[in-house]
Amino acid sequence: MNPVRVPKFPGNLLLIDGISGSGKTLITRLIDGYSANTSPSFNYSLEHLSILHHLRKIDTATAQLLIKLNLDQRRYDHSISREINLRPSDLSSVLKSSKRISYLISLLKSDTELNSGIRMGSQPNLVFVTHQLNSATKIIEDTYTGSFLEILCLRHPYYLLSHWESYVPMIGSNPRDFTVWTEHNDEVIPWFIKKFPDLYLQSDVVNRAAICVIEILSQSLTKLSVNSDNLVVIPFEKFVLNPSPIIARLEQWKSIGDSVLARRILRKEKVPRLHINSGRKLSIYDRYGAGKLTTSMDMKADFHFQESLVEQRLTLRVFKEFKSVSDKYLRTFGEWFS
């Protein structure tokens, strides 16, 4: 007998994906402000299932079965405020959500009251945050055709290097890192390293960080060549300088709901801003090297300064690949500093 999953809670799935350091936290706060969405939360099981299917370690039928089970379980948990994040210091905490009161009220409701609200009919969009899945999201899209929207967050590679340099030492060594790892020549590498596994293993930390950024952004930009009505791309620089076109594209999705809070949320995040580096100064951003991007230079001078720093720190081979991804990024989204 083959396992199956037939029943499914009604409602849509909204996935916020993208390379770490690309502004997903800002986007999650914006999306949280829309009435038809649940408070965004991490879903590592969904992330891992998608990656394992992409790596052909799980067949399609099994992956879809487990994804359906996972999302139904998570929808039910959201509805009854089970396993919500109440840590005040976390950026993903429900206490930072515009819907925090309704979540806290649900904790006090009886099972009868809760069940009547989750049986059938209108349900909020289930919103999850994942990390640089890229084409691995196809299994999710195929499972929820017609009821799935992906928001892909990207950022220019020069402004990602310090963030990834702080993260790379955790790969394969830190139990708090929940990225899927693979083996190459009996050594651990991230699952998304496909083109340069040998170069990755031969490199020091900063060059490994650069290779991670090269691989992920190259895969992301390739994904954009496939037209999809289920995909909204958010290049960080364009969004923080002029969010209106991207917000208009998001609001075309029929199920996102209304937001009287969107403008207030953006103001708090200092969007729109005159300089891409003029965002909020949170301690967690400094932890990942964002403080190094603070500058009094105009954006064009800052871009070329960041380029010179990157060139000084990387080997010639890695820098040439890094520069190639930079050029492709600029061709795709245009210059924000011209």
Domain contains 286: no
pLDDT in tens, 292-313: 566 668 999 999 999 999 999 9
For residue 265, what are its two tokens?
Answer: 């949320």
pLDDT at 174 over 70: yes
Higher pLDDT, 109 or 2: 2
Residue 292: what pLDDT?
Answer: 57
Residues 134, 168: one domain? no
The strand pairing partners of 15, in sequence order, are 128, 150
Number of domains the chain is built from:
2
- Token code pair at residue 333: 């989204």
**Does 287 fall in a domain?**
no
What pTM was computed for the model? 0.89
Selected residue with higher pLDDT from 76 and 217 = 217
Which of these, 20, 99, 30, 29, lies nearest to 247 by C-alpha position?
A: 30
What's the whole-number mean pLDDT along residues 121-128? 81
Q: 280, 306, 321 — which closes off a domain?
A: 280
Average pLDDT, the chain: 88
Residue 217 sits in the same domain as residue 237: no
At residue 234, the pLDDT reads 97
Question: Which residues sit opposite 232 in a β-bridge?
Answer: 151
Q: Which of 162-171, 200-209, 273-282, 302-311 has the lowest mean pLDDT?
A: 273-282
d(C-alpha 307, C-alpha 53), whole Å: 37
Percent of the chain with pLDDT over 70: 89
Average pLDDT of the segment spanning 205-231: 93
Residue 4 lies in a domain: no
Looking at 238, 257, 280, the residue that finishes a domain is 280
Question: Looking at the structure, do residues 250 and 208 belong to the same domain, yes or no?
Answer: no
Please enumerate, as own/partner, the contacts of 258-262 that have beta carbons within 8 Å and a separation of 24 or more. Answer: 258/34, 258/35, 258/36, 259/33, 259/34, 259/35, 261/33, 261/98, 262/30, 262/33, 262/34
Query: Quick one: 97 and 210 in the same domain?
Result: no
The domain of 94 spans 11-155+228-280
Mean pLDDT of 54-68: 95
Evaluate if residue 103 carries a pLDDT over 90.
no
The residue written with tokens 């925090």 in the block is 100
| Residue 2 domain-assigned (yes or no) | no
Q: Is residue 324 part of a domain?
A: yes
Write down the pLDDT at residue 110: 65
Question: Could you tell me if 193 and 104 lie in one domain?
Answer: no
What pLDDT, on a 0 to 100 scale, did the predictor assign at position 83? 75
Of all residues in the chain, what percent carry a pLDDT higher than 90?
64
- Mean pLDDT confidence for 120-145: 88
In a domain, 248, yes or no: yes
3: in domain: no
Greatest mean pLDDT among 87-96, 105-114, 132-141, 245-254 lies in: 132-141
